[in-house]
Amino acid sequence: MEHMEYIAKKEIDFKEPIVITGFPSIGLIGNIATRQIIKELNLDYIGYFDSPNIPPIMTVENGKIYPPIRAHANENIVAIFSEVLIPQNIVYSLTDKLLEYTSHINPKVIVNLDGITSLNPKDIYAVSTSEDILTNIKEQKIPILEFGMVGGMSGLISLKSADKNIPSLCLMAETPGLRPDPMGASNVIEVLNKLYNLNVNTEELIKEDEKIKEKLKKLAEEHLKLMTKQQKVENPMYL
Amino acid sequence: MEHMEYIAKKEIDFKEPIVITGFPSIGLIGNIATRQIIKELNLDYIGYFDSPNIPPIMTVENGKIYPPIRAHANENIVAIFSEVLIPQNIVYSLTDKLLEYTSHINPKVIVNLDGITSLNPKDIYAVSTSEDILTNIKEQKIPILEFGMVGGMSGLISLKSADKNIPSLCLMAETPGLRPDPMGASNVIEVLNKLYNLNVNTEELIKEDEKIKEKLKKLAEEHLKLMTKQQKVENPMYL
Amino acid sequence: MEHMEYIAKKEIDFKEPIVITGFPSIGLIGNIATRQIIKELNLDYIGYFDSPNIPPIMTVENGKIYPPIRAHANENIVAIFSEVLIPQNIVYSLTDKLLEYTSHINPKVIVNLDGITSLNPKDIYAVSTSEDILTNIKEQKIPILEFGMVGGMSGLISLKSADKNIPSLCLMAETPGLRPDPMGASNVIEVLNKLYNLNVNTEELIKEDEKIKEKLKKLAEEHLKLMTKQQKVENPMYL
Amino acid sequence: MEHMEYIAKKEIDFKEPIVITGFPSIGLIGNIATRQIIKELNLDYIGYFDSPNIPPIMTVENGKIYPPIRAHANENIVAIFSEVLIPQNIVYSLTDKLLEYTSHINPKVIVNLDGITSLNPKDIYAVSTSEDILTNIKEQKIPILEFGMVGGMSGLISLKSADKNIPSLCLMAETPGLRPDPMGASNVIEVLNKLYNLNVNTEELIKEDEKIKEKLKKLAEEHLKLMTKQQKVENPMYL
Amino acid sequence: MEHMEYIAKKEIDFKEPIVITGFPSIGLIGNIATRQIIKELNLDYIGYFDSPNIPPIMTVENGKIYPPIRAHANENIVAIFSEVLIPQNIVYSLTDKLLEYTSHINPKVIVNLDGITSLNPKDIYAVSTSEDILTNIKEQKIPILEFGMVGGMSGLISLKSADKNIPSLCLMAETPGLRPDPMGASNVIEVLNKLYNLNVNTEELIKEDEKIKEKLKKLAEEHLKLMTKQQKVENPMYL
C-alpha cells in the first residue's frame, strides 16, 4: 500500500461532526458541492493528505498556497475534497488514511457526494452499505438506487467505513456528465440541507449553471453555422 | 506477492460445503452461473476479498453496496465470484487467499466454473489435477477435455488446491464466446445439479438467452440492410 | 519514497542565507535566473543531489564535469537548480531532501523562482503559504496572484517548508512560455534585488532576450515567405 | 529478484542424471524436442516452478491439468520445459531456482536445447562456457559456433551453471525460424542420442515436419493464385 | 537501487592498473575501442557484472559463452565494456558496483571512452571532474571540451569516482554518430597510447572504417539512382 499521511494544520474541538467528501468524478458534483459548502459555511482549512503519489499541484487563492487534497471544518462539519483526480494507485491508501483520521473524530455520519449519468438529470439517489441508513433514507422520501455501480473514492469509503462501523451513505446526483454540473451540485446540497439542516445557500451554483448553459448554447449555434458552411463547401453540388 | 485479505462479514457453521467459483472469462459462464446459484438458493453475503489492487468498483443492489469480489453461502454451499475482471497481478495472491480461506472451512470439493470456445456449443467438459476425481467424473458420463488449456483463476485454483490436498475440478461449458452466454451457464448448472443434487432452477437463464439471441438476430438484420444500402452508394454503378 | 541524498563537495560557514531555487518549468525562468545569479555573484559549487532516479546527464563547463541538480553558494546566498527536468517520481523525495539540507543551514527564507503563462508578459507575482510573508510582500508593492496554480518543485517546496516552519515564497514571472525567456528571468531577478538587495546584474539576460527575439522574427519572416510560395503551388489557380 | 519456487510432486532416486532444458525460442526447437523426449522415454511428471509472475496458463492432457513450467524425469534423465514464453522479469529468478534444484540432484551435465536462424537449416552447433566440454564436443565431430549469441534461458543457464561448477552446454539447431520446426528438434535429438545414448525415436517429428511443409506449400500456392488475380485487377492495363 | 554484483572468474595481481571503460553510446566509440585494446593486448577475461536487470544476451566466441558486461585485464590494464545497451534503471547500480570493484584494485586512473557528435569528426576532447587532471591534459596538448554534456555510464562514473577520490577522465571522440565508427575508436586509442604508452595497434580499425565507408558510398550511389528513377516516374512531365 502506498505511503499516505494526514498532516494537521489546525486542531478543532469536534462535536460528532458530519463528514462530507467530494472527490472528482462525473460532472464534478462532489467537488463543486463541497467547495460551495466550505465557502458558504466559512469552514477553516484544517489539514491535508500527503503522499509522494499525489500530483504536486497546489492551488493559489488570494496569494495563499493550498495543497490539492485537504480538509476544511468547523465543530459540526468536516469537508474533505480534492482539486486533482485521485490516481488509481492511491485510492486505497487515501481511503484508509481518511477513515483512520475520521474515526478519531467520532463522526455522526460520512456522506460521500458523487454523480450518476442521466439523459434527463433531476433526482438524487442514495446508496449505503447499511440497512438502517437505507430505512431512514426511505422514510425521508429520498429515492434509493435500485441497481448500479459506485466506483472510486465514494465506493471504497462506503465499503471500508462499514468495516469500521462508521455510518455512511453516498448521495448521487443525476448529471449529464459531459461538463462541470453546478446544478447537480446544487441539487445534492439541497438533499444534504434537508437531511442534516445545513442551510447551505446554492443560489451561486444555480447562476453558474445558467452561465455554463448559455455558453454551451452559443457554442452549439456557432458550431451549427460552421457545419452548414462546411457542408456547402464539401458538397460538390455547391461548388 | 500483492497484499490480499479476506474480510468476513458473517460467520456460518459450515458442514463440509461445496465451494463454487465463478470468475469472469469467456462467455462470462462462471459469473452468470454463480450469480444464478446465489439467487436461486438464497445464499447470504458472508464476506469479501480486499486488496489495494482490486478495482474499487462497488455494485449496488436495492440501494445496498457490495464489494466486487465476494462470497455468498449457506451451510452446504459457498459461492465465490467477481463482478470485475481479475487484474493479472492479483490472480496469484487472490488464489492463495481464496485457498487459505477455503481450507479453513473443510470443503468437500472446489468446483471452478469456466467456458471453452466452440462453434457449436453444447457440451460441458471436466478437467482436474486428480486422477480419482477424473475417474469419478467418467463414471458419471461427463466428458473429459482431452487436450487444451485452463487459464486464469480456474487454472491456478486447480493447480494450487492440489498442492493443499483439496479436491477440485473445473467444469467448462462450450460457448460461442462473443457475448454473455446464459445458456452455457445454464448447461454448467445442470451438470452441477446432477453431480451434487443442488436443484438450482435455470429457467430464468434460458429465457435470458432467448432474449439475447432475439436481440442479436434483429441487430444482424438491421446490419444487413445497412450494408446493402451502403454498397449501393459506394458502388459507382448505382450513383 | 525514492532514495535521495545530498552530497556535500565544499563546506561553507553560512550566515542565515537566502536560499533560491530554480527548477525547469515554463519559460525556464527559474533555471535561467538562478544560473545568472550564480554567475554574477560568483557562487561556488558546494554539492549535489544524488539518486538512481536522476537522469545521468552531466554538464561540462571549461572541461569540468558537474552533476545536473546542484547547489552553488557564498555565505549569504544558496542557489539550487537543475539542468534536467525533474522526473515526476522524485519531486517528493528531492523536495524532502532539499528541505532537510536547507533546515540545517538556518535559512532566512526560501525563494522559489518560477513562471506563469501570459499573452502580455510583464509582471512578477508572489504567492506563499504564510500570511505574514504575503503582508510583507504587499507592503513592498509586489502583486499577489489572486487565483491560480503552483505545480512541481516550487509548489511542493512551498507546502513542505511551511510544515517545517521555514519561511518561503514563490516569485512567478509572466512569460509567453513557448521558448526560454531571459527577459522573464531578468524581471524576476529585479524583484529579488529589490526584496533582498542582491545587486545581481541582468544586462546579459536582456541582450540574450533581444537575440532570441531577433532570431524568432527572422524565422517568422522566412516561414511567411515559405507559406506564401507553398500556397501558390498548392492553389490550382497558379498551376 | 522475483519470487520463485520449485514445487516437488514426486521424489525420484536420481543417478547422476542428464538434465535437458527446452524453453520457447526460435522455431520452438527446445520445446518440441523436450516434449518428444518426455513422450518417448515415458518420463514421469515430478514437479513445477511456481511464481506469481508465471502466466497462469495450465495445459490439459487427457483431462488432467499440468502447470506451464515443469519437470519430467526418470532416474537418469530430467527434462525441464515451458509451455509459455518466459517473461523477461523472471528469466533470472527461474534460472536461479532451476540451478538450485539441479545442483541438489548432482547432475552429470545440463544440456540446453535451442535454435539458431539459418536460411539453409541443417547443422547443430554446440557452445559452452567450459573449455573441457568444447574439447570433448570437437572430438565427437559436432560443430562449434564460431561467433554469435545465446540469449534467454539457455544463455543464462549456461553462464550461471559455470558459476556453480555444473558442466553445461547448449545445442543449437539451425532453423528457418518462422514456424515451429520439428525437423530441427529431431536433428538436435539425434545429437543428444549420439552424445548420451538416449535412443529417443524421432520418426514422429519427421512426419510432423512433412505435414507442416505440405501445408505451407499449399498455402503458398493459394497465395500465389490470389496475388496473380489481384495484380490483374490493380494493373490498369487489364481494366 | 537495483541489485548488482561483480562475479570474479580469475584473480590478477594488479599493479596500479589503468581502468578503461567502453559502454555503448554514439558511434559505439567506447565499445569498439575497448574491444580492440582487449584483442591487441591479449587481455584475459577476469569477471562479469551480474544483475536480474541485465539483458540475458551472451556472446559466443569460438564456441565459448561470455556474459554481456565483463572485464578483461592484465597486471597493468583493466578493460570493462558492455555488448548490450545499459538499461536506464541499472546505470546507477552498475556504476556503483564498478567503482566498488575498481577501488579495491587501487587504480592509477579510470579512463571512460565515449563519443561526441560532429559533422567534421577529427578531434578527441577530454573532460574531468578534477582540476589537476585537466591541467595535466592541457599540458599534453589534448583539447578540453569547453561546453557540453556527458551522459550515461561515462558521466556517472566520472561524477562518482570523484566522490571516491579515484582520478578519472573521459576521452570523447568526435564522430558522425549514425554508424559504428572504427576511425573514431582508433583516434581515441591514439590519445590513450600517447597518454599511457599502451602501444595498441589500430590498423585493423582503420581498415574496417574504410570498408564501412566503401559500403556506405555504394549504398548512397544506388540510392541516388533509385531516387532519380522514382522522380522521373513521379514528375508528371515524364509521364
Of D93, D146, D163, the CB nearest to E7: D163
Question: Could you say which of C3, C56, C60 has the minimum Cβ distance to residue E145?
Answer: C60
pLDDT at E230: 64
pLDDT of the residue at C223: 82
**Residues facing D69 on adjacent strands:** D82
Dihedrals phi, psi of C11, to nearest 5 degrees: -90, 140
Between chain C and chain E, how many beta carbons pairs sit less than 8 Å apart? 67
Of C145, C152, C163, the CB nearest to A60: C145
Q: Could you tell me if B209 and B186 are in contact, meaning their C-beta atoms sit under 8 angstroms apart?
A: yes
Say if domain B5-201 classifies as CATH 3.40.50.10900. yes
Report the distance separating Cα D87 and Cα D55, nearest Å.
Answer: 8
pLDDT over 60 at E209, yes or no: yes
Query: Per-residue confidence at E239, pLDDT binned at 50, 70, 90?
Result: very low
Say what the pLDDT of residue C69 is: 98
What pLDDT is stored for residue A225 in this prediction?
86
- Please name the amino acid found at residue B171: L
Whether residue C132 has pLDDT greater than 60: yes
Chains in touch with A (3+ beta-carbon pairs under 8 Å) read: B, C
Domain residues of chain C, as ranges?
A: 5-201, 205-239
pLDDT digits (tens, 9 = 90+) for C179-218: 899 999 999 999 999 999 999 999 999 999 999 889 988 9
Kindly indicate the confidence band of residue E224, based on its pLDDT and cuts at 50, 70 and 90.
confident
Residue bearing the bigger pLDDT, C125 or B228 = C125
- Are E52 and D1 inside 8 Å of each other by CB? yes
* pLDDT at position A62 over 80: yes
In B2-105, beta strands by DSSP E: 5-8, 18-22, 44-50, 57-61, 64-66, 69-73, 77-82
The reply to whether residue A128 touches residue B52, judged by beta carbons under 8 angstroms, is: no
Mean pLDDT of chain E: 92
Q: What is the pLDDT of residues D157-184, one digit of tens each?
A: 999 999 999 999 999 999 998 889 999 9
Q: How confident is the model at residue D238 (pLDDT cuts 50, 70, 90)?
A: very low
**pTM of the predicted model, to two decimals?**
0.90
Q: Which residue has the higher pLDDT, A149 or D223?
A: A149
Residue B223 pLDDT level (bands cut at 50, 70, 90): confident
Q: For residue D225, what pLDDT is reported?
A: 86
Out of A94-98, A209-213, B59-63, C94-98, pick the least confident. Answer: A209-213
pLDDT in the model for residue E33? 97
Q: For the sheet containing D5-8, what is the strand order?
A: D5-8, D44-50, D69-73, D77-82, D18-22, D109-117, D168-175, D124-127
Percent of chain E with pLDDT over 70: 95
**B52 with A92: Cβ contact below 8 A:** yes
Q: Look at E62 and D144 and tell me if their CB atoms are within 8 Å.
A: yes
State how far the alpha carbon of C223 is from the alpha carbons of C180, C219, C227, C231, E182, in Å.
Answer: 20, 6, 6, 12, 40
Chains E and B touch (3+ CB pairs under 8 A): no
**The pLDDT of residue C59:** 96
Mean pLDDT of E136-165: 95
Say if strands D109-117 and D64-66 run parallel, antiparallel, or are unpaired: unpaired
CB count, 10 Å around CB of C1? 13
Is any Cβ of chain B less than 8 angstroms from the Cβ of D144?
Answer: no
Alpha-carbon torsion, ordered B155, B157, B163, B165, to 10 deg: -120
Q: What is the pLDDT of residues C222-238, one digit of tens each?
A: 888 877 776 665 554 44
What is the average pLDDT score of chain B? 92
Q: What is the pLDDT of residue E231?
A: 61
| Interchain CB distance below 8 Å, C63 and E170 | no
Chain E contacts in chain C segment 34-53 (CB below 8 A): 48, 51-52
Q: Do chains C and A touch (3 or more CB pairs under 8 A)?
A: yes
Contact B3 A2 (CB under 8 A): no
Region E4-13 average pLDDT: 97
Mean pLDDT in residue range C85-102: 96
Task: Tell whether E239 lies on the interface with D, counting CB pairs under 8 A.
Answer: no
Q: What is the average pLDDT across D1-11?
A: 91
Please write the tens of the pLDDT for every residue from B152-175: 999 999 999 999 999 999 999 999
Across the interface, do D63 and B163 touch by the CB < 8 Å criterion?
no
Residues with Cβ within 8 Å of residue B53, at least 6 apart in sequence: B2, B3, B87, B89, B90
What is residue C231's predicted lDDT score, i.e. its pLDDT?
61
pLDDT in tens, A100-121: 999 999 999 999 999 999 989 9
Residue D230: pLDDT band by 50, 70, 90 thresholds?
low
Tell me whether residues E89 and C7 touch, CB distance under 8 A: no
Name residue B72's beta-bridge partners: B45, B79
| A128 with B65: Cβ contact below 8 A | yes
List CB contacts (< 8 A) between B58 and chain A.
149-151, 155-156, 158-159
Q: C58: nearest CA in chain E?
A: E150
Q: CA geometry: angle at D23 spanning D19 and D25, to 5°?
A: 140
Cα dihedral C166, C170, C171, C172 in deg (nearest 10): 170
Q: Has residue C178 got a pLDDT over 90?
A: no
Is the pLDDT confidence value at B86 over 50?
A: yes
**Which pairs count as long-range contacts for A93-97, CB under 8 Å and 24+ apart, including other chains?**
A93/A1, A93/A2, A93/A3, A93/A4, A93/A51, A93/B52, A94/A4, A94/A49, A94/A51, A94/A69, A94/A153, A95/A153, A95/A156, A95/A157, A95/A160, A95/B56, A96/A1, A96/A4, A96/A160, A97/A4, A97/A5, A97/A6, A97/A49
Nearest to A63 among C92, C95, C134 (CB): C134
Closest residue to A64, CB basis, from C128, C151, C155: C128
Interchain contact, D155 vs E52, CB within 8 Å: no
D233 — pLDDT class (breaks 50, 70, 90): low
Query: pLDDT value at position D207?
Result: 94
Stronger pLDDT, B231 or A31, i.e. the higher one:
A31
Confidence band, pLDDT 50/70/90 cuts, at residue D239: very low
Contact with chain D for residue E233, Cβ under 8 A = no
User: Which residues, including other chains, have CB under 8 Å from residue C126's CB and lie 6 or more apart?
Assistant: A63, C134, C137, C142, C143, C144, C145, C169, C170, C171, C172
How far, in Å, CA of E186 to CA of D188, rounded?
43
Residues of E in contact with D131 (CB under 8 A): 64
**CA-based nearest residue to D123, from D190, D169, D177:** D190
Could you tell me if E20 and E78 are in contact, meaning their C-beta atoms sit under 8 angstroms apart?
Answer: yes
Across the interface, which of E3, E51, E61 has its CB nearest the CB of D147? E61
* Average pLDDT for chain D: 92
CB contact under 8 A, B92 and D52: yes
pLDDT at position C239, please? 39
pLDDT tens readout for residues A11-59? 999 999 999 999 999 999 999 999 999 999 999 999 999 999 999 999 9
pLDDT of residue B226: 79
pLDDT of D58 above 60: yes
- Output the pLDDT for position E233: 55
Q: C141 in contact with E at a CB cutoff of 8 Å?
A: no
Residue B51's pLDDT is: 96
Indicate yes or no: CB of D58 within 8 angstroms of CB of B92: no
Q: What single-letter amino acid sits at C43?
A: L
Q: Using the predicted structure, report yes or no on whether residue B74 has a pLDDT greater than 80.
A: yes
Residue from D3, D60, D62 whose CB has the most chain B CBs within 10 Å, to mutate? D60
More confident residue, D185 or A225: D185
